[in-house]
A and B are shown apart, each in its own frame.
Chain A
């Protein structure tokens, strides 16, 4: 069921959305939180679904790394190869796209065939 204004969907609805988008002819990538260390806003198993037209639903963090995940998803959609992304305060990139909460997360970004 879809409700206007609700963006933080349940992972179960998100896989359904991934299938819907795929069936409507879009190219789609699925991002999943694999593991978290320390304080991080979304638990393992959280999903973000990204389509090649730039639309996305769900979340893998409190909004801190979604931009970078969407960028990686576009690559994954183009070359069809999954990527493992890691974000955390120890990362050099963290100042731009890290987690403000000081946690660490690992995210799998995979193409939906």
Chain B
């Protein structure tokens, strides 16, 4: 691969842009396509190839296509999925490194600075804002999961309301069945329908039986992954 293609790819990735890297498997043609344009060996590119590349931008992974007797590899580099965690609690300390290994870009939110400190959460993107203030600016999209762990309704519920109004693919709330029922009642008073409230996984996590913070973190991450790929229990 040409060095300039690699540089452009890495630069686009740093800006969280989705990119398709295209290789002609016998011609050696190299193209990079992002939202801004097409770069590389751009002379005489078949229209159909550009069309297929634009379609591919919406997916993950890689596909091969055959156009005009040439086989092309389209490798898609989409923006990483995001995990927004509200509540800088013990479970979050276990969950954050696991989520990172699984490829998630993690943001931790907790207005309680004693909880959300860089000593307790090294190398973590931390916000000490209140969720109601910061959540609207996070553009929660269909590649974002939101979970609330603080056990404090003042912190958790504004975050849940923001998540319910977004396209987040997963919303989970820590708390017992009893507390979750009360929480749903309060959220319903804000005008959310039962169908909308059913988007919240509560009590959070797959039922694995574990009790330690690390075990609960695994059950949460497992449920997020299951939800991302549209699988049921």
Contacts and interface: CB of A to CB of B under 8 A. Distances in A.
A108 B25 contact: yes
A85 interface: no
B2 A1 contact: no
Interface size class of A (residues with CB under 8 A): 20 to 34
Given A3-B101, A18-B6, A11 B77 contact: yes
A58 to B, nearest CB: 13
A82 B64 CA distance: 17
B1 A30 contact: yes
A24 B37 CA distance: 29
B28 interface: yes
Given A44-B61, A112-B3, A15 B100 contact: no
B9 interface: yes
B1 A33 contact: no
A3 B28 contact: no
Given A15-B10, A43-B61, A32 B73 contact: yes
A45 B25 contact: no
Interface residues of B, number: 26
Question: At the interface, is chain B mostly helix, strand, loop or mixed?
Answer: mixed
Nearest to A8: B101
Nearest to B101: A6
B28 A82 contact: yes
B23 A43 contact: no
A113 B25 contact: no
Interface string A1-18: 101001010111001101
Contact of B62 (A19, A45, A113): A45
B55 to A, nearest CB: 15
Nearest to B9: A15
Contacts of B6: 15, 18-19, 22, 112
Report the 5 A-B pairs with minimum CB-CB distance, sorted nearest first. Answer: A45-B62, A44-B62, A45-B61, A10-B103, A19-B6
9 contacts: A10-B103, A11-B75, A19-B3, A22-B3, A35-B64, A45-B60, A45-B75, A108-B23, A112-B6
